[in-house]
Amino acid sequence: MADRKDKYITLSNQYPDFVYEAYHYEISNGELKVWFDFRVGDIEFHPSAVVEQRYFLDTTYSDLEWTVFNIGMVELVSYWKCVCSPNVHVKCGALTEAMAAFWKKLYWHGLGEFFYTNGLLEDVSFDGETPFMTINSSGRAIVCPATVYKQYTGSSMSYLVPIGGGKDSVVTLELLKQAGRTVRPLIMNPRGATIGCAQVAGYPLHEVLVIRRTIDPTLLELNSKGYLNGHTPFSAMLAFYTLLASQLSGIPNVALSNESSANESTVIGSTVNHQYSKSLEFEDDFRAYCSGIRQFDYFSFLRPLAELQIAMLFSRLQKYHDVFRSCNVGSKQDIWCGRCAKCLFAYIILSPFITPSRLNQIFGHPLLDDMLLKHEFMQLTGCAESKPFECVGTIDEVRQALDMARSTWYHEGEPALMKMLDAEPLRYRAVDLNHVPHLGNLSAEEYKILEKACIERNK
């Protein structure tokens, strides 16, 4: 940790000013391209992204400027963290005091894991004598478009659904489809599981709104040289890209698949949350930030539901069981690696509802018998200082899932990891599974009730 602190001090002193120089965008050759110019010292970054031009409306070109500028602001987070400059200067736009406060809060909480794992939480603060950074701007004011959905008919019943390849977005997609809503899947950087889930849902890739985002290779070079690195708030970045996709497609509703467990801190007794940009707090902040765009709505359709309830719903969607993936380690190979906390959590949360033999087929081997996963198991069950730094459910849900699986399947002997908890009875606040909707069997009124609960974002 001391080495990381020394590196933080050295780099932040060596690179005191990080500059957002410019943003660019153009529609040509059937796609929208955006790219950005960042500079810190003699280092330049030029990240870019392309939105494939499917289902574009005749969007007024100027209506996109505010959104593109703000995509640059959120892209900046990933590049800033390599040196942690104490001053961020925005030369290509003007930030109000409220806008600057939004970004500073996102940096602080969205990089909470980064500060924690690099041992920096005690050395920097959000406010006070040692603030971790300041943000100022000197560019012209960019007007937020009041409305961009004039041309689209029936848009209030239409939804963009980001597909990540895991169980949650599949449940959102199926619930909305079966409720008779118009759904358009959105995928960033398509890969095996995301394409597979969309296809199983009935959407070939040419019917999906696709965003292809590229990281500047200079950042990867700096990472390899030992510059500061760590987790960044990917979902916050996705939020601004979904706004751009919403404007281009004329579909004003972005239905995410973040459940209630995203609000739980990763480090017990702290505010450090790996899933901060999936939390209700960020969701509310983002919606307020974009409030000038009438009709646009960004919300998690699954927020009222717990991971265990979502897992029960997903267990009934058997056509997806061989194509979904939630493993970050194995994402490029489109596999479950079977060695990480994300794989183990997915196995556990589904274990009450899918037979052990079928789970072993899906994940490749019996994960609850794998003692190489002992550390991850202790983290997931609350027997360690922190939960895994992954998008996983609450400790209570993990314990309840294990208890349910034990009573359902393991009457003649428990898996090795489960035996570790025998000395201490499982204690948890139980999730109610008696009132979860049955996919395919909901009445129109029941769908209306669920949708209302989701849109109102029950806490």
pLDDT of residue 459: 33
Is 274 in the same domain as 161?
Answer: yes
* Percentages (nearest 5) of helix, strand, coil residues in the chain: 40, 15, 45
pLDDT tens by residue, 175-185:
888 888 889 99
- Give CA–CA dist 264/65, Å, rounded: 35
Structure tokens at 390: 């992954």
Residue 454 within any structural domain of the chain: no
CA atoms within 13 A on the CB side of 310: 28
Residue 283 within any structural domain of the chain: yes
Is 284 in the same domain as 352?
Answer: no
- Determine contact, residues 455/447, Cβ cutoff 8 Å: no
Structure tokens at 170: 């599949």
- Determine contact, residues 55/249, Cβ cutoff 8 Å: yes
Q: Is 294 exposed, middle or buried (0-12, 13-18, 19+ CB in 10 A)?
A: exposed
Residue 410 within any structural domain of the chain: yes
Residue 444 within any structural domain of the chain: no
- Determine contact, residues 114/230, Cβ cutoff 8 Å: yes
Residue appearing with tokens 């790996």: 274
Angle between helices 97-110 and 65-80 (to 10 degrees): 40
- Determine contact, residues 376/344, Cβ cutoff 8 Å: yes
Name the band, by pLDDT with cuts 50, 70 and 90, for residue 141.
Answer: very high
Core vs surface per residue 108-120: b (16+ CB within 10 A) or e: bbbbbbbbbbbeb
Structure tokens at 121: 């939480």
- Give CA–CA dist 80/7, Å, rounded: 14
In this prediction, residues 259-279 reach a mean pLDDT of 81
Which residues neighbour 269 within 8 Å (Cβ) at sequence distance 6 or greater?
none
Is 34 in the same domain as 72?
Answer: yes
Residue 20 within any structural domain of the chain: yes
Which residues neighbour 407 within 8 Å (Cβ) at sequence distance 6 or greater?
none
pLDDT tens by residue, 358-417:
999 999 999 999 999 999 999 999 888 888 888 888 899 999 999 999 999 998 889 999
CA-nearest of 398, 341, 342, 415 to 373 is 341
Is 168 in the same domain as 252?
Answer: yes
pLDDT of residue 345: 96
Is 105 in the same domain as 35?
Answer: yes
H or E, element range at 159: strand 158-162
Is 264 in the same domain as 176?
Answer: yes
Residue 442 has pLDDT above 50, yes or no: no
pTM for the model stands at: 0.91
Is 267 in the same domain as 379?
Answer: no
* E strands present in 260-361: 297-300
pLDDT tens by residue, 71-111:
999 999 999 999 999 999 999 999 999 999 999 999 999 99
Residue 23 within any structural domain of the chain: yes
Domain tally, the chain? 2
- Give CA–CA dist 24/366, Å, rounded: 50
Q: Is 3 exposed, middle or buried (0-12, 13-18, 19+ CB in 10 A)?
A: exposed
* Domain around 330: 326-428
pLDDT of residue 40: 98
* E strands present in 309-359: none
Name the band, by pLDDT with cuts 50, 70 and 90, for residue 422.
Answer: low
- Amino acid residing at 248: L
Is 411 in the same domain as 279?
Answer: no
Is 238 in the same domain as 108?
Answer: yes
| Pairing relationship of beta strands 209-214 and 17-28 according to DSSP bridges | unpaired
Residue 314 within any structural domain of the chain: no
Backbone angles phi, psi at 114, to 5 degrees: -60, -45
